[in-house]
Amino acid sequence: MENDNLKTESNNANVLLGAVKCAEGWHDGSCCCNCKNQIELFKHPWNKVNKGSIMESTEMYACIVQFDCDKEYKGIIFEKKHGMCEMHMRR
């Protein structure tokens, strides 16, 4: 019974997330804003650039990905929340 509830909750979440589309990205609604690789970047009081509270957004984003040829994750900085690339993976 518990497993059935977990499956139902998982299916409901997938339906909801699948409905999240953005007209600013790719024609099928895929966009950086609904990609699991995108994170929002925040400030830090010790920074020289983007100095401030850790609660303040830098209004910049990063795509955190692992390329096939490298074992380490890399972060690519973007000034926009919206866009599209071949590494897109819907949240």
Task: Render pLDDT for 9-61 as a digit per residue (tens, 0 to 9).
Answer: 544 444 444 556 888 988 888 999 999 999 999 999 999 999 999 999 999 99
> Helices marked H in the chain — which ranges?
2-18
Strand boundaries in the chain, DSSP class E: 38-42, 57-66, 73-78
- The answer to the question of residue 32 being in a domain is yes
- The answer to the question of residue 25 being in a domain is yes
- Taking the C-alpha atoms of residue 35 and residue 88, their distance in angstroms, rounded to an integer, is 6
Q: What is the CA radius of gyration of the chain?
A: 17
- The answer to the question of residue 43 being in a domain is yes
Of the candidates 55, 52, 73, the residue with the CA atom closest to the CA atom of residue 64: 73
- The answer to the question of residue 44 being in a domain is yes
- The answer to the question of residue 27 being in a domain is yes
Domains: count for the chain: 1
Task: Report if pTM > 0.75.
Answer: no
| pLDDT value at residue 14 | 41
Residue 11 belongs to what domain range?
2-78
* 2-6, 8-12, 61-65, 75-79: segment of lowest average pLDDT: 8-12
- The answer to the question of residue 13 being in a domain is yes
